[in-house]
Every structure is written in structure tokens, then in C-alpha cells.
Structure 1
Amino acid sequence: MGDHLTLLLLSLPLLVNGIRFQEYLYFQVLSPGDIRYIFTATPAKDFGGVFSQRYDQIHLVPADPPEACGELNNGVFIQGQIALVERGGCSFQSKTRVIQENGGRAVIIADNASDNDSVYVEMIQDNAEGATYIPALFLLGRDGYMIQRSLEQHGLPWAIISIPVNVSSIPTFELKQPPWTFW
């Protein structure tokens, strides 16, 4: 019960005095080890689903092509996993639909500005046809770039992650955040 309540609370918007604050969801890269950090992402505002369970070890598979605006060359590897997609080329909702159609459990869309280490983009629906029900998250460009770069350096087709991570249950001294990002 506690884990499900935590997941629900992590996915709800935070309103204080009528002002909407940015909501965050956290995931941890387990492998490759050089990027074994806890990353921050923001859920789509008004489309996609929420995480109804925690995945302790699931593949984070970079989409091919990276923008995931049409047919994927590696859709078979995304089935049952989480896709890492690059921003650009089509709407956030269209990307989410492509990953959903390929059997992905969720999509993490990294900003295409690899130097972006602080500005989150609010992902909204585009009223295109077809519902999207898998979770869609926005990731800072620097984080996406560093994950992709590490995979390329190690010759790996995917990372292994845990998602979502309840950072309030982790002792502060164990919170390994990316050294290039400030929380």
C-alpha cells in the first residue's frame, strides 16, 4: 500500500495557494556504472499515463531513429521496456504514441539541446488522433546526452534503470545525483 500511495503522490500536481508547482519523477540508472545517478524528469501535463508500479530493473532503450516520429528500426527492443527519445521532428504526444504502438511501457523524451541542464519543458497534448496511456516524461538535454554518450562509449544498446524512485526514502548521503545538475 505504501509504495502505491507514494507513486500516486509523485504523479499528482502540487498546488499551493492556487499556484501550480513543477512536479518531478525520479529514476536511477543502474548500468552503465559511470552514469549511476538519480535523474529528475517531469511528467506530461495532460496526456499519457502514470506509473502504477515500480520497475526495479528495466531497459532504457534509445529509439532508432532518435526522434521516434515514425517507424522504428529497433521497435522489437522497445517492447516491454522504456524508450529514450530525442525532442524534435514531431509532437511529444506523437512520440509517445509511436512508443506505445511498439509496446513500450513508458517514454522519456530528452531535450534536443544537449547543453540544457536546468529548463524543463511542459509537454502538452496536440489533439492528434489516438489516445496515449503510457507515461511520458521530459528529461533535461544534458542528462539525455550524458546517458546516450555513456551507452555509445561502452557499446551498449540500452541502460538498466529503476523507475520511479522515491528520493524521500533514500538517505541524503546515498543520493547520487549527476555532478552536472543542481537539484
Structure 2
Amino acid sequence: MRQDGFTLLQLLLVTGLIGLLVQLAAPGFRQLLVNQQRQVVAFELASGLRSARAQAILQQQDVLVQAIDDDWGLGWWMIVDSSGKGVEDPNNRVLLERRLSGAVPVVGNTRLLTRARFIAQGWPAYTGTGPGNGTLHICEQGAAVSHWRVVMANSGRIRTESGARAEQRCEPDEKLGGSAPSHTDYR
């Protein structure tokens, strides 16, 4: 009597090979997901800043984009800053609140440390800094590497840049347990 099928040994061997292949592929897949998260954060920040600039022009008032708890990685508020006091004035209208998980560290240079302000003409209004672009760095967790950058030119134009680049601002802060403080796209 002839039986067609697989032996127990054949099934165990195939199952073992599949398990081995999954173990080999998992780190690469995990890195792909982390890279995708960084890209999404960069595009959302760029979109938020572009929207704030457009709102400032449309409403002919200052619009402020403020990092939640002074940490861009946690998200931001977009506020019509009628009083000039930003988030401290409860009468300022919140246009948008965008919350992020904080899983992707984002740090700004001195121009975009915790906020970005656009005046009615759509230009950025910087306080206490010299000439130059404002940059938000989307960092690698636990390393001094910026993978994406959201750059705001003096004209108010926003662009994104990609590519791993050493960035001291992304350096992990040992006092905080080792976490970081808190492609060019011309749209």
C-alpha cells in the first residue's frame, strides 16, 4: 500500500529552515520600519510648516508652530498668534494639534529649537539669531546621526533632505538615560 505525503523528518527540516530564514530577515525588516517612521515624521513636519506658512499668508496674521512640551518628537501645535504670546495666551486660536509617539527623536537648530513663527507675508520670524536656515533633524535613536532634515529657508520655503549625516545635536544625553534630546523634496 503506497501513501503520498511528507515524513515527519521532512516537515521538521522545512519548518526549521523557515524559522532560520525568518530570523535572518527580521533585523532588516525592523530597520526598514524604523527608516519609514523617520521619513513619515520628516514629511509630516514639512507639511505642518508649509501649512502654517500658508495660514499666515491667508489670515494675514502671525502663525506659530510650537513643539509640544518643547520636544518636536512629541508633536506640535499650530496657533494663530494674535497676541504675540504664543501658547501662553489661551485666547490664541489653535488651528492644528499633531501628536507623535516620541519614538523618533527630532531636534532643531537654534532657529527652530522649539518653535517656528511665520509673519503675515509668509516669512519666518527668528528671534535672537544670525542669518541662516532653520533645520529640524530627524535623528537615529541613541546616535549622533541625522537621517532626514526639514530645512526652512530665510524666505520661508520648506524642503526635506535625506541621507545619514553626523549631527552633534542628535547626540544622546547621558543624563536622560541615553536617549536623544527629545533626498531633497522641493514642494
Q: Same fold (TM over 0.5)?
A: no
Instruction: Kindly indicate which of the two structures has a greater share of residues assigned to helix.
Output: 2
Question: Which protein has greater RCO, CA pairs closer than 8 Å, 6+ apart?
Answer: 1
Which TM-score band applies after superposition, normalised by the shorter structure?
Answer: under 0.3
TM-score, length basis structure 2: 0.24
TM-score, length basis structure 1: 0.25
Q: Which has the larger radius of gyration?
A: 2
